[in-house]
A and B are shown apart, each in its own frame.
Chain A
Amino acid sequence: MTQYFQDPALWALVAGTPVAATAIVRSRKKISELRKEQVELKQHYATLEEHYTEAVEEAKDRAEEATKNTLKTAMRTLQGLASEQQLAISKLQEAYGEHKILQDLLDIDHMNSQFARRAQSIAVLCDGWLGRRRNDASLYDVVRSAKGRIRHFTRVEIRSQSNFAIVSRAVEPVALVLAELLDNATSYSAPETIIEINIRPVPKGVCIIVDDAGVGMNEEEKARAGQLLSGGNSASVSSLGNPPQFGFTVIGVLAARYGFTVSVDSTSPYGGVRAVVLLPDELLTSLHEPEEGPAVAASTPLPPENPPGHQGSEATGRHRAPLPPAPPAFGGPDADRPAVAETTAGGLPKRRRRGAISIVPPAAESTPTPARDSARTASVMGAFQRGTQSGRRSTQASSEGHEVP
């Protein structure tokens, strides 16, 4: 044992151990400090990265916002000009109605409508103003208005009419959505094919069905279209693709904003796309009779105004005519009109046509007197005609008197 005590190596070991231990402890401390630093650095880096991403996102949002604002303002000017121009064209069409130039005016009117639609679409993507009609409009007129906003509108056939009307605030949006659908339909089908529009009342409202005979869409395209049409993700001007595809994005935004649904996931009977616009009851109303002047003449039996498919309900509507008027709940402003007795299948009051304005006396007694005309209407009519005739006689007489020197 003593030999070990004399061994210098032992003493060296005894002296070295604490030193080594201290060194180890120190280096361990250092390592843990370094590790801590590293973690801190990592955290710092992560925050920096986060900030950076946020900043980039913010910049992107700001740029998007700025782009939208610029475009919105520009489009607003263009929309205003287009609608002013439309009014001017209307006046010219009135003024030169009998000249050959009318043909050109009609063509210019068509181009102006397409131009206005483009401006409206871009405005919608920029959360902009769409223009608003003052009056409700019949669904048939809205569909026809939409038809007039695309280039190849003569290929569009509207197969059914309807007694429904669209409330004023939804007139332009629905027309624009339909126009975009029709634009797609005409663009993706052969030039000689027809685009067919049908209007069908359904329990939840009214469906406008657009069928084309085009190439259709594959599953991937349908899925993408469905996503855009749902309007879930907000529209962005910078992500429309190149070349930019407006249609479905615009439709999605409008459908979400005004509360109707559009789907394109079914196939049309002609092999192309079937697009269905479902308008809920909130956007629908009954047709209001336009106010007319006091000159009301005898009305005449009219040809059927419903499509052949609706003949049955039409006929029963006529037979029901003498029965009590429609329930006031559906009547709205028309409820107090006793003559509103006919109702559509959807329960809305049927449009009642008024007589014609005519200052020329009836040709002969052989003109069939409509059964629904009362004797009172006839007497009022007669009085009116006598009045206009005597009025004309007196003005003629007096003007002749003045003209002769």
Chain B
Amino acid sequence: MDYIHDLHSFLPGIIVAAAGLLVIMLEAFKKGVHLSYGATVAGLGIAFIFSIQAMFGDTGTAFSGMIVHGGTGAFGMMIVLLGALFCVFISKDYLQDAGLHNGEVYGMLLFATTGMLGLAVSNDLISFFVSLETMSICLYVLAGLIKTEKIGAEAALKYFLLGAFSTGFLLYGIALIYGATGQTNLTEVAAAAEPTLLFFAGSALLLVGIFFKIAAVPFHMWTPDVYQGTPTTLTAFMATAAKSATFVAFILILTRMLPDTEAGDWTNVIQVVAVLTMIIGNLIALAQDNVKRMLAYSSIAHAGYLMVGLAAGTAAGYSGVLYYLFAYTLMNVGAFGVIAYYERNHGLDFTEIDSYAGLGFKMPIMGVMLSVFLFSLAGIPPLVGFVGKYYVFAAAVQAGLIPLAIIGVLASAASVYYYLRVMVYLYFREAHKEYTLKTPGLLFKSTLILLAVLTIYYGIEPVLPTTGLIELITSYYAV
């Protein structure tokens, strides 16, 4: 039956949406937050398993071509769910200590995840837009969770206003593309596309909307304030799952909607934006004294590296980007997790780098893990961040974009300074006063350890005799 096939294709999304509804109902009947938390973990976990299954399945479209199933989309769903699941694991203790542990948080998180899942598989501009809005509106709410502080309100308002503005661009772009081609389905748009002014204007506005969501320069202004004002574990959720979903949608648009003709050649624009994003993201990050803001600018810079892979426009480039998103999710959730741990002990404003002095020796395992995640973000082998960067830059070199690759590696050399700076404070400076650190909860600690182990494991996985992850991803693009 056709609709069975349709439902099966979007099964992870349906499960997560159902879990979201369940959580809202549980809250309505005051069943307590622990039950909601259990429902969230169960929903995301089951969806995660189904998404892994879909990664190995066949590829095609469903819902009359509205979504894709299998391949890139399935891998995107897996990354989103991985990020969401890990963020939920580290959120519990953190939100409890911050007094923000309500069931509604998980409801919003699940609906946002549903939007991201839709985004990762959308094959139609309408489903793309609806999913993006589902995700964004829930994220606006999550950004404003710290209601008592000014930074919380600033984050939510800034995100909402600028987000609404960018949505306008996006929708206008979709309208123009529809006007030019009479289609909204990605592949049909590609077939009908002519290099007309209308189509160019539409694609350009669509790209502006996407650049805003992935925080590419010059559409990045909202990122540091929003990341700083959002509860840290939810910042991790925004920085990984939301960004991955948008990037996967971006890949789908580039590969399916923009044709291989002159009308669809946006490589130069992506290259320029990639260069700007890498340079400006890294340079501003150098000057940050707040760890969360530093990671916000670093996430801008990472969007730049990812766009290097997109600019290559080859199978190797797209698979490199997917791998990088996976890598980025592991190490970024980990880094935010450790920051959340330090915040749990000293209050929500404990993110100034100076206050980290000497903390590395206080709870050694946390310090070591933060170092692992930061080294991985800096792209030092043998950690997963290096492997991701390697695939992306290798694709650029292969596509003949050697200057772009050189700018990329130099930018990432500059980035090493600000990652190392955190470790300088953690280990090389004396503590200002005696802190006593709480013992992290078992779930929290084991989640971070798992992330650190995965960061190291996927760093050496390419040379292990097992079938590599990259091999699976590359098979999605085999013609």
A and B associate in one complex? no
Residues of B within 8 A of A (CB): none
Residues of A within 8 A of B (CB): none
